[in-house]
Structure 1
Amino acid sequence: MHTLNIIGAGRVGQTLARLWHAHSVFQIGAVCNRSIGSAQAAVDFIQAGTAFDVDALSLLPAADVWLLACPDDQLQACCTDLSKHGAFNQDSIVFHCSGALTAHEVLQSAKNCGAQIASAHPIKSFANPDSAVQGFTGTFCGTEGDAAALAVLESAFAAIGGHCFTIKPESKTLYHAASVMACNYLVALQEVSIQAFTQAGVAREQAMAILQPIVSDTVNNVFSMGTQAALTGPIARGDAAVVEKQVAALKGWRMDYAQMYQQLGQVTLTLAEPCGISDQTARRLADILGRED
């Protein structure tokens, strides 16, 4: 069984380590956090490993695999420090779980020591590690890096129910932006909608109650029918007069929200055009939405 050291065992590191320990995928070695108290709490959650703090890098035991799970802006410095302390060699596998950074962007110092490097990004919320452990099965994980490292990591993720897929390293920023738009910006869009409701005199709690079923139904339709078939509303039915009135109302309230409406409306129109909107209506909608054809 491969040994695993974890540097920066926060919510992601704790979740993965506990699952790998429970499924006998890795033997957990060092669990190193900023403070010994935090590291011990992580060990207690993982139910395996030995706690170290960052002042003890030179004392960390050897390991086959290293997970650097510290914040993105600390990954490169962390890897460099470990390299200087002789942590890595030609038999090492070093990886991180950032969705925004490639392995070669931040783990090059390990590569220079002969290690195989990779990144594996689980597309999942880890806000609550207990819940993440229970619900990890079925999680998709975007991977890139050296083939030897990926062979070990993809097997490790598969053993705990993960589904790995490869991404182009040069396009990883776009890959991460896709998840941000789908999840983080969905939340932001609901906030804009709630603000519009409250501007119209609807209490925030009532707005939430109104949105819950229609947003849930829409999301379900997207994944059961596809984006084009799931599309409804004034643009989908070619109701240019309604769209024009809504743009004007938004401009009278919040110009930035009006611009957001128009930009999203342009994407909506592109989806709707093949579904029976006349050329004349499409041109009028494009003009209202500020799309340059």
Structure 2
Amino acid sequence: MTPRPRHRATIGLIGAGRAGGSMAVLLAHGGWAPSVLWSRSLGRRRTLARRILRITGRSPACRSRPADVAREARILLLAVPDDALAGMAVELAAACPHMSGRVILHLSGVAGLTPLLPLRERGASTGSLHPLAIFSSRVPPPDLLLGAGFAVDGQPRARSVARSLARALGGRPFSIDTRLRPLYHLAASLVANDVLAIFHLAHRALCKTGLQEKEAHQVLVHLLQGTATALAQTTAEAALTGPVSRGDAGTLARHLSAAPDARTASIHRLLSLVLVDMACTGDRMGEATARRLRHLLAASPGQGRNRR
């Protein structure tokens, strides 16, 4: 069934990378399809236009310059890299001196509203809309953002539009103090990105035991899914299992000795210290056990088979 538009405003998109392209597809499913777009890559422009056409029955117009999109759109989404955001705002402000009545939202998680100041000075209502989601494909499932958090910020009208877009995608909008955006983005990166680094180290270690790469990947993914399932039902502290939760210093010592390199041992040590702090909440671990584990984990920083 073709989604019916939920608005009359022309939506424009600048940037059709993984995040921008995914958001455009999801907005099309939600009845807020972009009708004009630009990307540095002509191929991406055309591919995204075809995807939106298949969803809505109407193809968005592809423009050759970002300023052309800004002139036509009443709601403009900037899906450019963080480092390019300020430059894009300056470029659009120079090309479009009269932007009264327009809403311009960037999709950056870490940037505040300062990069959009040149557009605000031209009369636009500026804000931000950042989905807490992983865009691993440019063709995301329609329900990818169902229940996802959206950090929204901006001037009143821009913030209202951002909240409407988030809700149209099935998300839960919330506000973050602009000064705390880097901290917010750090929290998101720890879960969305740093977990992958831990998975990579675990996969390398498991392959050294004789498992084939594919098999090691599959069993670790299943284990990770179990952790996520537990977290969906309770707190991280209550979901804690393993040697730290049992106060098993001997097993931790064996882990550190078996680590294939000093970096893996160091990361395991630092994370285990955090786990000790977690286990101490709610009286799950006594002070004597905690001291013993902390002493073990603070000692011998060069452990691991292959020191670097």
Instruction: Give the structure 2 partner of residue 52 of structure 1.
Output: 63
1:137/1:38 Cα in 2 relative to 1: closer, same or farther (>3 Å)?
same
Question: For 1:209 and 1:25, how far apart are their aligned partners in 2?
Answer: 37
Aligned length: 286
Q: Report the CA distance between 1:24 and its aligned residue.
A: 4.2
Distance 1:233 1:127, change over 3 A: closer
SS at match of 1:236: helix
In structure 2, relative to structure 1, the CA distance for the partners of 1:2 and 1:168 (3 Å cut) is: same
Partner of 2:152: 143
1:2 aligns with 2:9: yes
* CA–CA separation in structure 2 for the residues paired with 1:18 and 1:278: 52
| Structure 1 outlier segments of 4+, above 6 Å | none
Structure 1: gaps (5+ residues) = none
Separation in 2, partners of 1:15, 1:38: 12
Task: Report the TM-score, using the length of structure 2 for normalisation.
Answer: 0.83
Q: Which moved more, 1:58-67 or 1:77-86?
A: 58-67
Aligned counterpart in structure 2 of residue 290 of structure 1, from 284, 298, 307: 298
Which residue in 2 is equivalent to 1:184?
A: 193
Pick the aligned partner of 1:174 from 171, 177, 183: 183
* 2:36 is aligned with 1:30: yes
Q: 1:210 to 1:132 in 2, by over 3 A?
A: closer
Please report how far the alpha carbon of residue 262 of structure 1 lies from its aligned counterpart in structure 2 after TM superposition: 1.0
Q: 8 Å contact 1:97–1:121 — kept in the other structure?
A: yes
Structure 2's unaligned 5+ residue stretches are 1-7, 54-58, 300-308
Aligned to 1:246: 255
Report the TM-score, using the length of structure 1 for normalisation.
0.87
Among residues 86, 89, 96, which one is paired with 2:99 in the alignment? 89
Per-residue deviation at 1:22?
A: 5.1
Query: For 1:206 and 1:42, how far apart are their aligned partners in 2?
Result: 35
Tell whether 2:275 aligns with 1:271: no
Aligned with residue 204 of structure 2, among 195, 198, 220: 195
**How far has the Cα of 1:149 moved from its partner?**
0.5
Secondary structure of 1:129's counterpart equals: coil
C-alpha offsets along residues 35-58 of structure 1, whole Å, 9 cap, x if unaligned? Answer: 44442332222223211113x735
CA 233–88 in structure 1, closer or farther in 2 if over 3 Å, else same: farther
Cα distance change on mapping 1:150 and 1:189 into 2, 3 Å:
same
